[in-house]
Structure 1
């Protein structure tokens, strides 16, 4: 039995909670995973997992082994990278989760640079505007904007961006330009359901809260972009979401004398998995990219 592989398999079983999920992520059959765990328990002469109708949970011995094995494999990975040297780049597969529009505009166009620096690395990108289960999906790093709902997540803030009220010149020519936040009540507002509908504007130390509503509500940023670019109304969103159009003038900011809360971009790592060197370097890569973003 390969001790390194057995430890890696056990770690994946604990993190996914089942043999079948671990097998799927490892790219092997479920019997192979079951056999590996059985051999590991036989060698250690201790029960590592409790099997029930609700899945698999580690015993006390299994939890201790999991934590030490996870640290050991992380140290082994770091040792290999150090031995190969920085010029050798990264190896293996990196699974990234990101919001669709953000990845399409800011990450994917720059990926050739990252892949060229690491020719032995493969990247899987899972595009979803909703937060997914990082452990169940085998994700190494997730790029998420705004407040984080999971207080147990291991996260690092890598950028802060502005929010604005945006519209196309054609819509403003038709409907007029709002002069105060209260004027938004008289406009067609396209609502992005992933964000709050009550916004706090500030100006010269004074705060005004406005509840926005509209006839069109969309659940994905791509729909919001399509509606705004079709001159259907104005919206409150991050400048990142319309970066190319802000630069070209296809959309413009209104109420610029009023400030909206900024938005943070986070690199989120699975709480129960090792933070790999691949994930850390990718987070640094995105952080550097966002320094020049709108």
Structure 2
């Protein structure tokens, strides 16, 4: 039994949930895949898969083996890439986690260029505004903004962006334009539940903090965008979140003379695992994308 091929076959079976799909991937018959898995189970003396009418899923032992086998395969692939040279095209699967709105506005529209450069690579993007367990979800790289809670993760700062108080002209025509942070308690604030309701500003070395309130609280940035564009109030957000609207005037900055703490974009890699060439090159790709976004939002 070729142990490397057996691990690769098992990983493909778990990823696809099917012997036949794994067989098509490797260009062999389904009986050959079944035989390989049976030999692997006999070698390990454990059952790796549960077979049911819903397909194939890993047992507890199978999931443990899958996690370690996947890491081993990735490290072997990395070793080959290093030996062949950095110019070698990427292949396999890249699993990315990213905040929904950020990915929709800035990453997904640019993906065709990245995929064209790497025709043998597939990308899977998990869209979620919350931090997830990167190891448990098999994520190669996560794109996150703000303060990072996990001190054990491997991180790389990709970009730093501006944060502003934003609203539509229609809302400001109705409610008036605040002239200083002290005016904000008189306005309808759209509250993003992942951020505090005390907003802190700085001007000429002087700091001021104000407590804001509003009738709408949202848990995801996509909801925040929708509420602002529906003229429901003003909010604090990264300019990245409203680049198209800031360019065409649909959304405007207020209190421009006052500065807010900036926001950082991070590439986060799972702790305890080797950073893959795929993840490193994707981080570099995003960094280049954000240079263009930063120029357009300045």
Fold match by TM threshold 0.5: yes
SS in 2 for 1:114: helix
Task: State the match for 2:163 in structure 1.
Answer: 163
Structure 1 residues 82 and 288, CA, compared in 2 at 3 Å: closer, same or farther? same
Q: Tell me how many residue pairs correspond in the alignment.
A: 264
Q: For 1:211 and 1:5, locate their aligned partners in 2 and report how far apart those are by CA, in whole Å.
A: 60
Task: State the match for 2:50 in structure 1.
Answer: none
Unaligned runs of 5+ in 1: 13-21, 43-54, 57-61
Deviation at 1:74, TM superposition (A): 5.3
Unaligned runs of 5+ in 2: 20-33, 47-59
1:25, 1:138 within 8 Å by CA — same for their partners in 2? no
205-214 or 73-82: bigger deviation: 73-82
Structure 1 residues 6 and 269, CA, compared in 2 at 3 Å: closer, same or farther? farther
Task: State the match for 1:39 in structure 2.
Answer: 43
Task: State the match for 1:139 in structure 2.
Answer: 139
1:77-116 matched pairs, under 5 angstroms: 77-116=77-116
Q: Does 1:123 align with 2:123?
A: yes
TM value normalised by structure 1:
0.79
Q: For 1:85 and 1:181, locate their aligned partners in 2 and report how far apart those are by CA, in whole Å.
A: 54
1:162-181 matched pairs, under 5 angstroms: 162-181=162-181
Q: For 2:202 and 2:292, locate their aligned partners in 1 and report how far apart those are by CA, in whole Å.
A: 26
SS in 2 for 1:137: coil
Q: Does 1:3 align with 2:3?
A: yes
Q: For 2:163 and 2:139, locate their aligned partners in 1 and report how far apart those are by CA, in whole Å.
A: 28
Task: State the match for 2:289 in structure 1.
Answer: 289
1:88, 1:118 within 8 Å by CA — same for their partners in 2? no
RMSD: 3.0
Q: For 2:96 and 2:42, locate their aligned partners in 1 and report how far apart those are by CA, in whole Å.
A: 31
TM value normalised by structure 2:
0.78
Q: Does 1:213 align with 2:217?
A: no
Q: Does 1:183 align with 2:183?
A: yes
2:75, 2:276 within 8 Å by CA — same for their partners in 1? no
